[in-house]
Chains A and B, each alone.
Chain A
Amino acid sequence: MSTLQETKNKILTSTVFENWVNASPRVNAFADTIKDAAQAFTAQGIPTTKHEEWKYTNVTKLATTDFQISANNNTLKKVDVKEMKVTADAVIVVLENGVFNKEASSLEALPKGIHIGSIHDMLDNAAVKKHFLQHADYKTEPFVALNTATFSDAVCIIADANVEMETPIHLMMVNTCDELSAYIPVRILVVADKNASIHVVETFESFSHTNSIFVNAVSEVVLAENAKVNYVKMQDDPGNTTHINYHRVAMARDSYQHLTTLSLGRGLIRNNLNIRLGDVNGTAYLNGLTVARSKQTVDHHTAVDHAMPHCYSSELYKNLIDDQAQGVFNGKIFVRKDAQKTNAFQSNKNLLLSDDATMNAKPQLEIFADDVKCSHGATTGQLDDESLFYLRARGIGEDAARALLNHAFAAEVMEGIAHEGVKEKMLELLNEKLK
């Protein structure tokens, strides 16, 4: 298709990309992978709605927009991002237009055994060598391929064995680009070694007022034996943004991961979460919340892959869809042949708040083992009339009553956030969004 060809040309032949791939000696180590990914993207192109995984989410306009890779990435100072901190003591890592901004970050007081920095400064780290670009599959995911072929910087967070860090690490993605149409590849690597425990928060925000922004983020999270990662993704991009996010978690035995995705932004959002329980006794929680307004589409695709026995996974996804917005939920659970004694649960609850709102849900189970307990449930409806009546009978106005019920509906997702400070901040944000 010509449009795909055009995109490829636009992005892959952009001088920034060419120069970077060919000229930068710093990424020589990954040059082969990057070229391979570029080819993989060329082969796959931008998916159309004919593609089963993109049936409800139309991103073809990406193929016809003339995106530029942002060049101006060092404008933010500490003071600019102070207000956005998730907790007062959080370790701040700022990515400005996808590029690590050391000036604005505050990495001075890192505990021993925690390493954070740009890929360019961390190439010698053993964990980085082992895991960088190794987990997100660009062969089957077009946007991972595009990201792998085009990222110019990446942030790596490495927790050494037995390090436990209570303070959250706040990855702040801030867009300041002033190109007419900007393309922002974001790349994150998080590695928690044996028995390590960390809290990570990703937030996506924007100071930019350009025409359109295309954020293409890929996070790879690796958990070694008995590691524990609590991860929160909060997306608050403005309406001019198309946000495509791929999050891959590779889990070793006895590891625990808790992931909360909060899609509160106003643009098109697509989340691909891919969790692989690669060894026995892993535990994975995936929670998600959408508050969709105007004409936006918010799409959550989750895939939980139970490859080994005795693992547990639980998903809770809630969508509040208002105006002419569209919500999409596609939850896949795979239970492989050897994954006996698997417990996998999934729950998807959706509220339609307006006459023009749409919700498309596709909870999906693929089970190849017999000794398993798997279930999924999906419901779509509106607020319960009786609950509304109950509140109104007690003198609460209709709008306030609705807001209260919506909040109660959404707050359940927040309850799972392990870090109290982060939870509080996120609830605060949610309150603002639901006003």
Chain B
Amino acid sequence: MPKLLRQPAWLVLPAILLLVVALGYPLLQVVIRSFTDPEPGLGNYTWFFSRPVNMTVFWRTFEVAGWVTVLCLVLGYPYAWLMTAVGPNMRLLLILCVLVPFWVSGVVRTLAWVILLQDSGVINKVIMALGFEKVRLIRTQTGVIIGMTQVLLPFMIMPLYAVMRGIDLRLVQAARSLGARPVLAFLQVYLPLSLPGVFGGAVIVFILGLGFYITPALLGGPRATMLSTLAQQQVLQQLNWGKGGAMGVILLASTLVLLAIAARFTRRRYQISGGSK
């Protein structure tokens, strides 16, 4: 076999071709249309940023993704810790509880939330049975956040668990033996060591949250629209390819900027830890 044909790059070629055809070319189309439809120029972008409605949706998207990230962290951190602290059988059960919803279709899980959160749903029945006022959950931002947090929680727990599993617990014991109180030992030793997992999980959840479509579309109403839904409506309902495309480009750009910042942060962290050795 000639040397050129033995290059490993050939094995990657089919995948790259598929990506160019099904990802690169379509994305290029989105960008092109955002600048040319209906006429060449920045019209679609000035339209987007000049309309208060759009800006409300834009900031709401970030707000929702932020809340979901924080909630996932609060719920996922102790859970991931417990996964590292129990015996193998209990751990299997805990992992199963994370994996099962992970595998069950997102649409189906959102359906369950529609049933639970609807005005005559289980949660409201409980609230009313306790003697409180009926709360509006479906088609509200709160409902969207509740649903998204549940759907995205596995994406937070998995990276957290992966990092925590590698933390040497003897370090915490060492801190304790040196006189640190438990809270202090946690804050000064365990928490910093688990930060890569916190960071990784937070970035994944936030980015997935920004682009989330199903849950906001089904659980949120007009008052809880997110950027994805807005872009979809522009293209499918109003046939405004340019405006929808511009929203898509803005969403994509936000994601990439965020990733770039995240990459910078992780790199700097590594440099600090490398320098202190």
Do A and B come together as binding partners? no
Q: Chain B: residues with CB nearer than 8 A to chain A?
A: none
